[in-house]
Each structure stands twice: as C-alpha cells, then as structure tokens.
Structure 1
Amino acid sequence: MKRIYVLTTVCVLSCLGFTINAQNHIDHMVWDQLLLLNVSNEGKVDYKGFIRDKFLFDKYFKSLSTNYPTENAEDTEKLAYWVNLYNAIVMKMIIDHYPVNSINDLENPWKKKSITINNNQYSLDDIEHTILRKMNEPRIHFLLNCAATSSPKLWNRAYTNRNITQALEERTLDYINDSTKNITTNGEVNLSKVFEWYAKDFDNGDIKNYINRYSKEKISKTSKIGYLEYNWSLNERQ
C-alpha cells in the first residue's frame, strides 16, 4: 500500500508540473519521493524499483535540463541542484544499463556528456570539478554518490535549498565516522580514497586536521595515514 500511495502522490505532483514551485525555486519533490521509496537508510539502492518507476524518474531528469538555478539564485539552491543532478546522472547510467556490477563497467562514465543545460553539455567530471569543487565546499564530497559500495551513502531524500546546509554537516559526520569507510581506532588510521583523491580540498591538504573536526576518534599528529582500497561494486539493496 505504501508504494501505491507514494506513487499516486508523485503522479499527481507530476501532472501538476513539479519542476518549479510558487516561490520559483526548483522543486525536487519527485526525486525526493523516488529516493525515499527506493533507497534504504543505509544507502542501499533498489535499482529494480527505480526501473519500475522509470517514467517518473525520466520526467524528473528531463526537467533538470530546462529548470536550473539562475545566476541570482541562492548558493544553497545552486548547490542542491548540482548535487541532485550529479546523483541523478549516476542513477540514470545504472538503470539504463542494468544489470551492471559497477559503474566502471560502463563506457567512460565520468567524461560522458549526459545532459545539456542552456546549450552547454555536462559530464559527471564537469559537474564535480568545474562547478561543485569551485564552490569551495569540501563537504560536497560526502553527498556525491557514484553507485559504489565505498561511495558516500546515497541519501534517501533530495537535497534542497532548505536542507542542504544541515545535510552537509550530517553527511560528513556520517561518512567520516563510518567504520566501513574510515578506520581511525587503536592508533590505526586508514582512510577512504576520497581523502587521497581530493586532499587539497580538505584544509589545503591537512587531512588530519579536517578529520579531527568530525571524527569521534581523533588522529594524532604523528599518526601515519594509509588509504583503504575503494570498493566499486554496486551499492545495491539485496
């Protein structure tokens, strides 16, 4: 009954035109409901569920190419839009080619131009490196999901201009203190590859200082940092 109720609600919103609300903000409600329905609290994804809901997903995805933040939009709205778009592109890649074992099984997923916005084509790399990272907000790395087991969890809610400030803090705390992603106990420090790949984004490379702001287990200045092997297997709910 829950699935029928949610899908009925989403269909009504879709028919009413869900992309822009009364305040002229981009509305991610359909994405929010699809995530709530198909992603667990642990970030595991029911890709078959997304495929069942593909009509609604595709409608939302298409809307992102024509409804995007203006230059005068709030920074929080811009950030929410681009993070949602990144995660939606990854979702589209997986469900369009499902079943797959990993996003890396696809042909050049990071550089593939996946959407056209205002006559400009964007890939995942374009969004991450030329837009999001230039916003000088390192916590975005804990919101972006690349459908991998070692990836930050895909949140089962959409990001909005209202919730993204709090979400940045909560998702960062969650990721840094996730013992499957980072091991900082008993003097052992093995971190996610995220901190190696994007080291300069975190306090200009002072990884220990950045980690210690959020970690329950503090890293001493003399600790040697290692990096865990990244698990690219699909973050699928079984």
Structure 2
Amino acid sequence: MNILAILALTLGLTTHCITSPTDATFAAPVSNAKPISHEIWNGLLKKYVDNTGMVNYTALKANDAKTLDKYLELVSANAPAADWKEDEKLAYWLNAYNAYTVKQILDMYPTASIIKNQLQLIAKNGPFNKKYFSIGDKEMSLNNIEQDVVRKEFKEPRIHFALVCAAISCPKLRNEAYLPAKLDAQLADQAKDFLNNPKKNAIAKDKVSVSKIFDWYKDDFGKSDENVVKFINKYSSAKADDGAKVSYMKYNWDLNDQKTAQ
C-alpha cells in the first residue's frame, strides 16, 4: 500500500497514472464458499499488535508463524462468493491484505523496512507487485488486492486507513480483525485515529499538513485539496477552514516494529 508518490517521483508519472488498476483485465476471484471466520487473525492481532499499531514481529515469527499460515490457507481457499454481503467481502479483503503483508514481513524478518530501496517499489518482483500468494485459482499481489479489487469495487475512501503496508507512516494496524457486523464503526474509528495523530496529520484552522495518502489517492477523497479538507473535517477534532492551505508530509517507510520503536 501507499507506494505511489515515490513511483511518481522516480518515473515522472502522474498520480492518476499510478493509482490506476495494475491490470485492467483483472477480475477478483470468486467461489461458492460461505463467509469465513476471522477468529485466527483476530487472535494474532490481539496477541502481537499493541494499541499504537506496532507489531511484535520477533515473537510472532518465533511462536505463531504457522498459525498465520493456517489463517492464510483459509483465506486462500475461500474467495468471496457473489452472494456475500458487501461488508463481508470488504472485511475479507482488508484482513487478507494485512495478513499477507505481515506474512511477507515474517518471511524477510529481521528487516528495517518492507522495501530495501526505491527500485523495489516499481519492480515486478517488489513487495507490492510480486504475485506471492493465491486466492482461489488466481495468483495475486498486494496491489491486486488494493488497486484491482478494493479500490475498484467498493468506492470507500476509508479503506486507506485500514490497509496497512507495514510502515511507520501507514495508519496503525488495528489489533483486531475487521468484521462485517461492525465494519463501518471500525473504519470510522481508524479514520479518526489516523487524522487525530499529530505525527501523521497536523490540522489547523488556516493550514493542514497531512499524510501523503491524501495526495496519492486524491481521486478517492474528492479530487481536490478543498474536498480533502472537507473529508478531514468529518473525522478530525481540529477543524480547518474550507480554504485552508494543504501540504503533504514526507512518508516514513521504516517498519512498524515494536522492537525498533522502543
């Protein structure tokens, strides 16, 4: 998630180009499965993720890597069916993205970041573009989930506060699974938490300095700085004027690791 600004700087592409679907012909996998339980993932999050969203990767890798694999086997074998409710589908994809991201970190851990250099962000075998897991009969990447399924199908801007790419500047990894019955409340809480974190967004009456997420995905927040401010005011305790000047913070790709946060 959230690799797009660096791609633009590296390649000189427009934000519109690099936030487009990675594969225009991609169709989300489907099955005849019933909605799955996210209990295993929920237990791992409660055990290894603190209230600030930092992850104890050391303990997770040592003690429960196979438990994560068990959950991912469940995800892989049970793609959403056409008759699932929208909240069931979205909760599935949000949990899948975050769990497969954690899996990738465990496979390379110890590491200081999900990326070793900026070239990995555009590489076909980089962490966001490589197809390292299968759902149903489709080999997929993290960008397939984010760009080709979640953004395309759900038109829900708050997903940008729920998809976590294992970086410090990401929204926090929630220490519970996303569940259909309370998904709307969870997404609202994630948006409030992110926008009221002064390390990630600074909101004042006449100016706001906000996460690059709002720049990279501006199309999802109303296509203009003015509409970004309107969205921010829905969830931020501090309110900005409609004409407030908007700037965007630098993105920190350091790993969301409890060990390095100490």
Q: TM-score range by the shorter chain?
A: 0.7 to 0.9
Task: Check if 1:112 corresponds to 2:123.
Answer: no
Judge conservation of contact 1:150–1:232 (CA < 8 Å) in 2: yes
Deviation (angstroms), 1:88: 0.8
Partner of 1:184: 203
Structure 1: 5+ residue stretches without partners? 1-22
Deviation (angstroms), 1:32: 0.4
Task: Check if 1:173 corresponds to 2:184.
Answer: no
User: 27, 35, 39: which one pairs with 1:25?
Assistant: 35
Deviation (angstroms), 1:186: 6.0
Partner of 1:4: none
TM value normalised by structure 2:
0.79
The 3-state SS of whatever aligns with 2:258 is coil
Deviation (angstroms), 1:221: 2.6
Partner of 2:228: 207
AA aligned opposite 1:139: R
The 3-state SS of whatever aligns with 1:116 is strand
Aligned length, in residue pairs: 216
Deviation (angstroms), 1:36: 0.2
The 3-state SS of whatever aligns with 2:80 is coil
AA aligned opposite 1:126: N
Judge conservation of contact 1:138–1:202 (CA < 8 Å) in 2: yes
User: Identity of paired residues, percent?
Assistant: 40
Task: Check if 1:125 corresponds to 2:143.
Answer: yes
Equivalent residues in 2 for 1:50-199 (5 A)?
50-51=60-61, 52-105=63-116, 108-134=126-152, 135-185=154-204, 187-199=206-218
Structure 2: 5+ residue stretches without partners? 1-32
Partner of 1:5: none
TM value normalised by structure 1:
0.87
Partner of 1:37: 47
The 3-state SS of whatever aligns with 1:190 is strand
Q: Determine the C-alpha separation between the residues in 1 that align with 2:217 and 2:202.
A: 18
Judge conservation of contact 1:43–1:154 (CA < 8 Å) in 2: yes
Q: Determine the C-alpha separation between the residues in 1 that align with 2:171 and 2:95.
A: 14
Q: Report the RMSD for the aligned CA atoms in angstroms.
A: 1.5
